Amino acid sequence: MVVIWIHASHSWWFAADRNISLEVVNTKVFINTFINQAGRFTVPLFVILSGFGFAKSEEYSPFRLKRFSQKRCFRVLPTYIFFGFLHIITRE
């Protein structure tokens, strides 16, 4: 969720809407900046924990690249295809 918030906060973070100045620091900008910076810490943490989880899932059986790839594809591809299709049909 934090990664989604980082991407959604892009316009505030880079002042793309040009309504934000250094003189005006409101609560929305402060909270957005805090979440943005916290998210930049959580992404590497997620990658490390995911790698640990992958390693633990293969701990008691010999590693086979084909089996590992098939398991990951069956978990990742349906979501990727769904959201890819959703993007194609909703773009302007």
Phi, psi dihedral angles at 72 (to 5 degrees): -70, -40
| Structure confidence by residue, pLDDT tens digits, 1-23 | 666 666 666 555 555 555 555 55
Region label for 18, one of left (φ > 0), alpha (ψ between -120 and 50) or beta (otherwise): left
For residue 7, which of 56, 53, 43 has the smallest C-alpha distance?
A: 43
Give dist(CA 48, CA 88) in Å, integer: 32
The mean pLDDT of 40-61, rounded to a whole number, is 84
> Where is pLDDT greater, at 54 or 52?
52
The mean pLDDT of 24-35, rounded to a whole number, is 70
Q: Which residue has the tokens 């194609």?
A: 88
Check: CB of residue 40 under 8 Å from CB of residue 10.
Answer: no
